[in-house]
Homo-oligomer: A and B are copies of this chain.
């Protein structure tokens, strides 16, 4: 199941490992490469001078980070121990073409654009509970697709991603549990009981963006 197994031995020199909470690259530095996640999860953060932090994205296996030719606008940090494949900036082809055939000549950049669109869509949802519902569906779809999911990030991370406070995220989770849409086995372990109702909360279209309901009923 480990995706590193898919790689030829001569390509292993491009593999990088980071421990939990390590910085993969730092905001303000120069960019000499981009990465593809083999396994583990990262967060992309932007720090403002006033101390606020905005999480631009979470990056799961098969997704990309660091596509900034001009330099690092954001920091990348390991949420869990993480294994990355390091690419040269002028090579925009993916190592793991998981989705089947590529999506044009620049699949890496197009993945990045798609992720940005998804973030904007999430922030466009008017209420906290809708954003949390959409977030859970997004994570489910982007990891295994099953109804039992592990959240590698803290409530504060989720809050900084959805532009809410940790408290509101927590309240929304509790409210979803109270309505019977999810079960909180542990703070970071969530079962999606009614993904179709979550999808309705998140907006039908957004739910489609996350791959629809079919995969979640598995």
Taking beta carbons and an 8 Å cutoff, which residues of A are in contact with B? 46, 48-50, 52, 54, 56, 67, 69-70, 73, 89-90, 92, 103-106, 109-110, 112-113, 116-117, 119-121, 123-124, 126, 163, 203-206
Contacts and interface: CB of A to CB of B under 8 A. Distances in A.
B105 A116 contact: no
A121 B203 CA distance: 23
A163 B123 contact: yes
A104 B137 CA distance: 35
A184 to B, nearest CB: 27
A184 B92 CA distance: 47
Contacts of A205: 48-49
Contacts of A121: 46, 54
Contacts of A69: 103-104, 110
